[in-house]
Amino acid sequence: MVKDLRVTLSGVELKNPVIPASGTFGFGQEFLPFFDPDILGSLSFKGTTLQARAGNSTPRIAECPAGMLNSVGLQNPGVEAVIAHELPELRKVFHGPVIANISGFSVEEYVRCAELLTREAQVEILEINVSCPNVHNGGMAFGTAPEAAAEVCRAVKRVATKPVYMKLSPNVTDIVSIARACEDAGADGLSLINTLLGMRIDLKRRKPVLANTMGGYSGPGIFPVALRMVYQVTGSVKIPVIGMGGISTARDVIEMMMVGASAVQIGAANLVNPFACRDIIETLPVEMEKLGIDRLSDIARV
């Protein structure tokens, strides 16, 4: 049973569509005791900002039915430390194409990070997370308005020499308009969805569980929402989409590809089961055989 798992993103060939999502796989080192990262199609490393960030106060993780809440707050060592230390170490253990996830609090921060990371040989795609608050515009996230998302995209495209994928927030009323705005601004692809905004209450303390009150909800509970949004977006744009949001099995991967995703990212599942990506990659050929699929690239959008 030989199945072809290869997929392509903007000319970048991946041996399979499975990519650990940013923030759930660090820079790859944490998962070395569990499996060889070289089995992965790609790897979206931890969200990187211009300056180092300690992240939000604890507690910043909360369990909930069918998923989890997180309010980590983009904890990372800053782009210069990532380039000087994290990427050289990553190159020792992962030899495939890498996705650089970039966050910023102003257009200028996004541009500077993109300028630096687009020069890194192993970085093949820049993933621009526009779920960050715009400090110059009252704290509203860039990704909640088409004009703001497009502004970031255009600015990054001016300095990028690698494909630019805009990572979209689901916390909007019309994700299609934002996706189209990014495509019109020159985006090479899109990643969606990021986490849904949620919260939990500690009944004994009568206070929010998270120190930051609200956080991002991820896990199997959001999969139908992610599937719906990817379906809407892939029917409205012509650029490739990386689908994510609650994927935890090989069947989920195929379902996401059936709504038009060219590849997928695995997020919260990595935090529940460190073998999740390995298990999905190993199981994909079995599920493909059951469904009569020889090549994942042949899957047509429903």
d(CA 191, CA 127): 8
Task: Give Cα separations from 92 to 261, 275, 286 (angstroms).
Answer: 30, 20, 31
Q: What is the CA radius of gyration of the chain?
A: 18
Q: Given the structure tokens 């969200």, which residue do they identify?
A: 47
Per annotation, catalytic residue among 132, 153, 182, 277: 132
Task: Encode the chain in three state secondary structure.
Answer: CCCECCEEECCEEECCCEEECCCCCCCCHHHCCCCCHHHCCCEECCCECCCCECCCCCCCEEEECCEEEECCCCCECCHHHHHHHHHHHHHHHCCCCEEEEECCCCHHHHHHHHHHHCCCCCEEEEEEECCCECCCCCCCEHHHCHHHHHHHHHHHHHHCCCCEEEECCCCCCCHHHHHHHHHHCCCCEEEECCCEEECCEECCCCEECCCCCCEEEECHHHHHHHHHHHHHHHCCCCCCEEEECCCCCHHHHHHHHHCCCCEEEECHHHHHCCCHHHHHHHHHHHHHHHHCCCEHHHCCCC
Active-site annotation holds for 132? yes
Residues labelled catalytic? 132
